[in-house]
Structure formats: structure tokens, C-alpha cells
Amino acid sequence: MNKPERMDTATEDAMLELGRRARAAAHLLSLASPEAKNNALIAAAEALRAATPEILAANVKDIEAARAAGRPESFIDRLLLHEKRINAMADGVAEIAKLADPIGTVLAEWQRPNGLRFQRVRVPLGVIGIIYESRPNVTADAGALALKAGNAAILRGGSESIHSSRVIHAALVAGLKAAGLPEAAISLVPTPDRAAVGMMLTGLNGTVDVIVPRGGKSLVERVQNEARVPVFAHLEGLCHTYVDRNADLAMAVDIVLNAKMRRTGVCGATETLLVDSSAPAAFMPTLVKALLDAGCEVRGDTATQQADARVKPAADADWSTEYLDAIISAREVDGIDGALAHIARYSTQHTDAIVTNDADTAARFQREVDSAIVVHNASTQFADGGEFGFGGEIGIATGKMHARGPVGVEQLTSFKYVVMGNGQTRPS
Amino acid sequence: MNKPERMDTATEDAMLELGRRARAAAHLLSLASPEAKNNALIAAAEALRAATPEILAANVKDIEAARAAGRPESFIDRLLLHEKRINAMADGVAEIAKLADPIGTVLAEWQRPNGLRFQRVRVPLGVIGIIYESRPNVTADAGALALKAGNAAILRGGSESIHSSRVIHAALVAGLKAAGLPEAAISLVPTPDRAAVGMMLTGLNGTVDVIVPRGGKSLVERVQNEARVPVFAHLEGLCHTYVDRNADLAMAVDIVLNAKMRRTGVCGATETLLVDSSAPAAFMPTLVKALLDAGCEVRGDTATQQADARVKPAADADWSTEYLDAIISAREVDGIDGALAHIARYSTQHTDAIVTNDADTAARFQREVDSAIVVHNASTQFADGGEFGFGGEIGIATGKMHARGPVGVEQLTSFKYVVMGNGQTRPS
């Protein structure tokens, strides 16, 4: 087992105490009524709105520090809060209160010939450790979703957003207190100490049930190396959009522009454009021109370079680079087979899209692409729990275990089997 | 990262090649028709029956080695195959062919106001690594279930059952060949080298999607320490049966006897008997006498010792010991509250049962006990995928992620989201 970085005993004790309190809170939450949880969420949303000036002031500190550290604009965009985003965050928390309570739902029910009756019943997961980086709104989204699903959350936000996160967390705690729920139901790790992350990854002495990492490559690598508790795998989003010979070109241009440029810093942004080599000659130049004219750098293969003089040559590394910026890699592929082969090799199994009016080709693409989300004739930027109708998300899981795709309330639950008999014993 | 034990380069290369071939086979299997998979299973069942003499001969070798090594009878029982068990194994494989094919099932379907249509579609998990110990029938169960769910399986059986497992595996491969499916769809690790397990736990170079450990404490501990891929947590089954004051005593005796003594070596066997201190005076002596008369050693608290002179005193360690033998720990508890407290402290969250005719008490027990399977008025030995109607199981998962309880065909699948649009782009 890797040793976590050294930390002083006081901080270590504080982390273990955080875990113990979260575990005790999780037990109470697992038995809490839907009303209590919803009251906490509604009160938290109100507290968030009321705290707008404090949140903005705290966010200014975070933004100034990020600018001083020379962070790129896409990073600043993820960090930035303004009134509209704070309102959206509060709306998000209030919306979660309106969702159906998942706990206690009977997912399946059946009887066996021996008279035993079985129910599969939804229960909370327990204590969820969420490790994230720059987006301060994750504090509210993650805390609220975990609460709705009857879980305790231990949030460890990035040091870059710590001022914003603290004020947001205080509003959530105000909501919990107003509803008579334990404050430890949503904890924010108080220290920016990286060793605290190490402790979370080893489970805080058995108190953490699952880790949800939300961040870039270095965080994900650390989690993969150090985690001793289950993890919602959350790799980068190296998303592809494939434009087939049977696509509507105007639709393809709209979709590709949106998929790349709507917000370049999100994990559902398309990073690679694949164009069918048998598509009409106008396809590649039209798509590439639209991207270039919108301010996107294009790095392409020979065919792409021939389509527009502004295209730069793509290096091998480009096909496996998540830019999170106004840059796209582009190449011709040999139809659906070529697209499937390229995606199988380079996709991070997050979200991949096809644009085509051929139903068979679309069906094959959606069947064979082994990604969490496979889109036909729409933008990859719909990869988002809110857009799925999940009422928010903690992130997009790229693993295949438990949660896959947007991690919303239902994905934060487990189940148990309730078996009802009248004296049955098992024959040998 | 822990280094796996040293192994020679040839073995290491062979293991990596096994992983590559399994990954390639998994891709083909994910697209295989239900008919092809079922044909393979039916042919494998026939091959198993036809190989009965060879399986018995191989099993004799394993049994002799186990006896020479002084293994206990409960171990021999797990290892032992006879004609009836081989038939049951073949029946099990053939039954799995009859189950509905899970792959491609639309689990949920909905539309959003913007016209986007969503489907959640069941897909295979990929490559499943199964690490088990003495039961040779796991080779057939696990291989067949993985195949039905469209997965490739890498099986690493215990060295104690290696002769039996090899012959069983050959029958499965004969089934795959007969159906035109890749032989690498079900691989048996050829070496008894413990380092092979270490390689599987680190994912065989990214080719293993999930590990299913099936074995005792030392295996589980090793898996928890070394695994770098997701694991279906599979702890020991420290199962409890609580006899409430409102139980029917005759029913309680039947259930407790069956729960402990039907087969003592299975993970669903009850290891601790809890008796309500407010139950009628006859309860404890009657239950204890029935156990003792059936040849079960009883280790109890003072109240239990007073019930029968043959009861031995229980030490602290008894409450956390999975005997897997004809031994039970027993104590009085202060009603449902005492039972819940004892179970919360000592249960491994596998299977726990209550015997009572009070519906409210039963409902509270089933709500508050945080175990995979919570049983009312029936034996804990029903903790088995076959008894649940799952058509076989790889094991009982005690974690809360993905699979919980019996791991059958459906638990060996994942899902993906298929999103269908007509040109939708996401507003900013």
C-alpha cells in the first residue's frame, strides 16, 4: 500500500474524526424521511441565494489567485461564479428536492415456487467521498445529490476553489440544520493538504464506501494508484464526432461547432472530428472552415490540411489529447468501419457521436461503440445529468461498474434483497 | 503499487497474452447472437456429462492431495465432486442457456422536451477475472454465467482443485468451439503460480474490467490490498439468525437448524444465533438442545450456557468468527434493538435473518439491517443465486457497488446510454 504523504497527527486525527462523524450521519440519513431531506435541500437553496454576495466575494479571491498563477482561460471559466451561475446552482439544489425519493423503492419483486417472496429495494450507498478540482459548484451539486440519495458526503474541493467552496458548504450546512439533519451529512475537508486526499483514498479507516473523483489526468492517476475503496471511474472525455457520408451537412456543421465550441472546458466537448472519406467533397472543407472561422485551431491529417490552408498538421499525440480548449484534431476515416476502429483505439469511453441520416449506420455505431454515451445526430455536449433529466450530476463515469455515464441521484444508491418466508428451510 | 511476486518472464508473457486474447474475445462476444451463446452452453453441458469419468478421476487426485495436506472435512466437502454434483453442474450450465439473454435489453427509455430520445441499454462488462479457491464447480458456473452475459472470463482456480478445474474447463472450451465462439472467451490460468493472481489484480495491462474473488479471508485481504481494477467485494458470510420473542418456536428450531447445519461450509450458513431475552423461557434451551443434538458445538454467553450444560463459553473472538463448520456462537440480546446493535457491529453484510410473527418487528429488521440479503422467517442458506431464481451465481457480493447479493447473469452486465436526436445542439 502506498503511504499517504506525511501529515501532522492533529490533521490526521481530524480526518479520521470526519470519517467517523460521516459514518454516523450516514446511518441517520439512511433512515431519514423524504420530507426531512427535501426540507434541507430547499433551505440550502435559499441559503445559497442569500449568500450570493459572500459567494461572489470568495470567488473573486479564488479567481485572482488563479490569474496570478497564470491559469488558462478555460480553467478560469470552470472556476468562475457569477450571479447567474449561483442562481443556477441554487435552482439545481431546489430541483433535486423535487425529484422522487429513490430510497425504499421496490426495484423488482418476485416469488419462487417454494413460496419465498423476494424484493430488491433501493438503499443508500453510505458515505461518498468526492474529490474534485476547480469547479466550486460541485460542492453544491455533489452535496445535494448525495443527501437526496440518503448518503453522507465528504467533499474535498481543489485548493483553487477553496474560498468559494467554503461559503457554498456553509449554506448546505445551514440547510441541514434547518431540517434537523446531522451537520456531518455534508462535510468539507477543511485542509488543502494533499495528504487528506490520500487518507480518503484509503477509506478513512473503513468509513468511506466509494470515491468519486472529478478532475484531470493527474488526479485520476493518483486515484487509480492509491484507492483502496471502490471508485466511480471518471477518466477524461476524449469525445469523437463522426460525420458519415449520409449526413446532412448543415446539421453536421451545427452539431460539430456546438460539440467543440459551446464550452471547450467540459468533459463532453468533442476533441476529435472524424469525416467519412466517401462523403461529398464539400464536407471536410465546410466543417473545417466553420471551426476555423469560429476561432478553433484545427490539427489534421493530410486530407484535412488540404481542405484549408489554416489547418496545422496533427501529430500522433493529438489523437489521444483532451484539449479542453479551442483546439480540435480532425481526420478522414474509411467510413463507419474506420470510425469504429479509430474510436475503439482512442476513445476514453465517455461520449461519442455520429451524424448520419442512415438508420442502419447509426444503429451499428450505437451498438458497437463501447462508450457510456453514444449519440446520434446531436451534440456530444448533451453529456450531462441535467440534460438527461437526472436533476443534476456529480460527474460522468467512464467505467462500467455500478454507475456509467452521468452520476445522478439513482447512481448514488445501492439496493438490498428483502426475502419473506413462512418457515422455509432449504433442502440439501 | 505492490509488486506482484516475481515470476519468470515466460509465465508473465503468457499471462499478458491471455489478457490480450480475452479482450479480443470479449469484443466478439459482445456482438455474438443469443443463439451462438446458448449453443455453446448447451454443448458445454453435454461435454460436461460426457466427461464425468474424467472429472471424477481428476477430482480423486485433488481430494487425495487435500487429505494428504490434512484439510478439514468442510474443505473436502467443498472440493468433492460426485456424479450427482457433476450432473447438477451440467444442469446448471444448461439452465443458463434457457435464461433470457440480457444483452441489448432496453432498461429504460425516455424523451426530453428538446426531442432527444434516451435509451439505457444493457451491455456486457467486458473481461471478468474470477479468482476462487477450492470449489471446482465454480469453473463451470462462472464461465457459463460470464459467457451468457457476453463477457470473456479469465478463471484462476485454487491449486487444490486444479485437476478437476482443468477437465471442467476443457468441456467449456469444447462448447465454445462447437458454437463457433472464440476459445479465449473462457480461459483458465494454466499456472498455479500465485504471482498470476497478482497480475490479474493489476488488470493484465488494462485487459481485465472486474475481479470477482471467491474465497476465504486471506484471498479477500490480498485482493483488497493489491487490486487496481474494480472488485465485486466478497467478504466472508458472518450470518446471523435472530429469534424474536414473537417467533413460532417450532419454526425457529427448523430454521436455525437448517441455517447452521444444512451445509456448514457455505457462506450463507448462520454463524451466530441471537435470542430475544424477553422470549419465553423455553426458547433458548430448545434451540440450543436441537443444535447440540444435531452435532453442533455451541459457544454461548452466560444465558446460553445456563440453557444446556454442553454449551461452551464464547470468547470475544467468537462473535466475529466465520466457522464454516459445525460450530455456532449464541447469545441473548435485548429484543430487536439488541439484535440490530449486535448485527451492526459484527455482520459482514452478507445475509441476516429474523424469525418472528410480528410484522412490524420484521419490517423494522428488514429496513434497518444493512446487509445484502435480509430474510424473514426463512433459512439464511437461501442466500444463493439459484434459490433467488437467477439461474446460478458466481458468488454473493457483500459490497454495495454494482452487484450486491448473488452475482448472476444480470449482475455481470453494464449498460450504456443511446441518445437519438435530429440535429439538437446544446444552448450555452
Q: Are residues B270 and B199 in the same domain?
A: no
- On whether any CB of chain A is under 8 Å from the CB of B400, the answer is yes
For residue B363, what are the contacts with CB-CB under 8 A and spacing of at least 6? none
Q: Which of A381, A321, A332, A43 is nearest to A183 (CA)?
A: A43
The pLDDT tens digits of the residues spanning B117-145 come to 999 999 999 999 999 887 898 899 999 99
Residue A397 in domain: no
Q: Are residues B38 and B159 in the same domain?
A: yes
The pLDDT tens digits of the residues spanning B229-246 come to 888 877 789 999 999 999
Q: Are residues A62 and A200 in the same domain?
A: yes
Q: Are residues A288 and A208 in the same domain?
A: no
B416 CB neighbours in chain A (<8 A) are: 370-374, 404-405
Q: Which of A191, A204, A192 is nearest to A152 (CA)?
A: A204
Q: What is the CATH number of the domain that holds A366?
A: 3.40.309.10
Is the pLDDT at A4 greater than 70, yes or no? no
Q: Do B30 and A370 touch (CB under 8 A)?
A: yes
- On whether any CB of chain B is under 8 Å from the CB of A117, the answer is no
Q: How many CA atoms lie within 13 A of A241 on its CB side?
A: 34
Residue A426 in domain: no
Hey, which residues does A106 pair with through a beta bridge?
A121
Q: How far apart are CA A134 and CA A76, in angstroms?
A: 9
In A166-234, DSSP assigns E strands to 186-188, 210-214
User: How close does chain B come to A409, measured CA to CA in Å?
Assistant: 14
Q: How far is CA A292 from CA A149, A269, A270, B28, B112, in A?
A: 44, 16, 15, 40, 32
> Which of B401, B411, B415 to mutate to probe the A interface, most A CBs <10 Å?
B401
Q: Are residues A50 and A171 in the same domain?
A: yes
Residue A2 in domain: no
Task: Report pLDDT for B233.
Answer: 77
A116 CB neighbours in chain B (<8 A) are: 378, 382, 387
Question: Mean pLDDT throughout A102-124?
Answer: 97
Q: Are residues A166 and A280 in the same domain?
A: no
Q: How far apart are CA B16 and CA B365, in angstroms?
A: 48
Task: Report pLDDT for B2.
Answer: 44
Q: What does chain A come to in residues?
A: 428
Is the pLDDT at B7 greater than 80, yes or no? no
Q: Which of B379, B380, B404 is nearest to B393 (CA)?
A: B404
Q: Is the CB of residue A391 less than 8 Å from the CB of residue A409?
A: yes
Question: Mean pLDDT throughout B324-342?
Answer: 97
What proportion of chain A, given as a percentage, has pLDDT over 90? 80
Q: Do B376 and A420 touch (CB under 8 A)?
A: yes
Q: How far apart are CA A216 and CA A75, in angstroms?
A: 11
Task: Report pLDDT for B3.
Answer: 47
Residue B66 in domain: yes
What one-character-per-residue DSSP string does B161-210 give? GHHHHHHHHHHHHHHHHHTT--GGGEEE-----HHHHHHHHTTTTTT--E
For residue A30, what are the contacts with CB-CB under 8 A and spacing of at least 6? A103, A123, A124, A126, A150, B370
Q: What is the CATH number of the domain that holds B209?
A: 3.40.605.10
pLDDT-derived band of residue A426, with 50, 70 and 90 as boundaries?
Answer: very high
The pLDDT tens digits of the residues spanning B151-170 come to 999 999 988 999 999 999 99
Amino acid found at B25: A
Q: Is the CB of residue A324 less than 8 Å from the CB of residue A354?
A: no
Q: Do A421 and B116 touch (CB under 8 A)?
A: no
The runs of H, that is alpha helices, within B104-136 are none
Residue B398 in domain: no
User: How close does chain A come to B118, measured CA to CA in Å?
Assistant: 8
The pLDDT tens digits of the residues spanning A299-322 come to 999 999 999 999 999 999 999 999
Q: Is the CB of residue A35 less than 8 Å from the CB of residue A147?
A: no
Mean confidence (pLDDT) of chain B: 94
What ipTM score was computed for the predicted complex, to two decimals? Answer: 0.91
Q: How far is CA A323 from CA A243, A291, B284, in A?
A: 20, 15, 69
Q: Are residues A67 and A147 in the same domain?
A: yes
Lowest mean pLDDT across A131-135, B6-10, B36-40: B6-10
Q: Residue A28: exposed, middle, or buried by beta-carbon count in 10 A (0-12, 13-18, 19+)?
A: middle
A100 by DSSP, 3-state: which? coil
Q: How far apart are CA A266 and CA A323, in angstroms?
A: 10
Q: How many CA atoms lie within 13 A of B271 on its CB side?
A: 25
Q: pLDDT: is A391 or A396 the higher one?
A: A396
Task: Report pLDDT for A225.
Answer: 82
Q: Which of residues 262-301 of A touch B (CB under 8 A)?
A: 262-263
The pLDDT tens digits of the residues spanning A44-94 come to 999 999 999 999 999 999 999 999 999 988 789 889 999 999 999 999 999
What one-character-per-residue DSSP string does A177-231 give? HHTT--GGGEEE-----HHHHHHHHTTTTTT--EEEEES-HHHHHHHHHH--S-B
The residue to which cell 447473469 is assigned: B409
Q: Are residues B197 and B287 in the same domain?
A: no
Task: Report pLDDT for B335.
Answer: 98
- On whether any CB of chain A is under 8 Å from the CB of B225, the answer is yes
Q: What does chain B come to in residues?
A: 428
C-alpha cell belonging to residue A82: 457569477
Q: Are residues A65 and A199 in the same domain?
A: yes
C-alpha cell belonging to residue B252: 425457529
Is the pLDDT at B180 greater than 80, yes or no? yes
Residue B396 in domain: no
Which residue range(s) make up the domain with A298?
239-388
Is the pLDDT at A1 greater than 60, yes or no? no
What one-character-per-residue DSSP string does A323-353 give? --SSEEEEEEESHHHHHHHHHHHH--SSEEE
A424 CB neighbours in chain B (<8 A) are: 377-379, 382
Amino acid found at B340: L
Q: CA Rg, chain A, in Å?
A: 24
Q: Do B414 and A401 touch (CB under 8 A)?
A: yes
Residue A299 in domain: yes
Q: Are residues B86 and B115 in the same domain?
A: yes
> Which of B352, B412, B418 to mutate to probe the A interface, most A CBs <10 Å?
B418
Question: What 8-state DSSP symbol labels residue A399?
Answer: S
pLDDT-derived band of residue A233, with 50, 70 and 90 as boundaries?
Answer: confident
Q: Is the CB of residue A220 less than 8 Å from the CB of residue A234?
A: yes
For residue A69, what are the contacts with CB-CB under 8 A and spacing of at least 6? none
Q: Residue A34: exposed, middle, or buried by beta-carbon count in 10 A (0-12, 13-18, 19+)?
A: middle
Q: Which of residues 368-387 of A touch B (CB under 8 A)?
A: 368, 370-379, 381-382, 384, 387
Q: How far apart are CA B104 and CA B96, in angstroms?
A: 17
Hey, which residues does A132 pair with through a beta bridge?
A214
C-alpha cell belonging to residue B341: 446493535
Task: Report pLDDT for B6.
Answer: 61
Q: Is the CB of residue A314 less than 8 Å from the CB of residue A329?
A: yes
**Interhelix angle for B162-178 vs B137-148, to 10°?**
30
Q: Is the CB of residue A332 less than 8 Å from the CB of residue A285?
A: no
B405 CB neighbours in chain A (<8 A) are: 416-417
Hey, which residues does B300 pair with through a beta bridge?
B313, B330
Q: How far apart are CA A51 and CA A136, in angstroms?
A: 14
Residue B412 in domain: yes
Q: How far apart are CA A322 and CA A319, in angstroms?
A: 9
Q: How far apart are CA B95 and CA B98, in angstroms?
A: 5
Q: Are residues B190 and B306 in the same domain?
A: no
Q: Are residues B227 and B316 in the same domain?
A: no
Q: How far apart are CA A123 and CA A111, in angstroms?
A: 21
C-alpha cell belonging to residue A413: 444508491
User: How close does chain A come to B190, measured CA to CA in Å?
Assistant: 28
Closest Cβ opposite residue A378 in set B116, B402, B414: B116
Amino acid found at A57: A
For residue A11, what are the contacts with CB-CB under 8 A and spacing of at least 6? A191, A193, A195, A196
Q: Which of residues 232-261 of B touch A (CB under 8 A)?
A: 233, 248, 251, 254-255, 257-259
Q: How far apart are CA A233 and CA A223, in angstroms?
A: 9
The pLDDT tens digits of the residues spanning B254-267 come to 999 999 999 998 89
* Structural domains of chain A, count: 2
Q: How far apart are CA B280 and CA B307, in angstroms?
A: 13
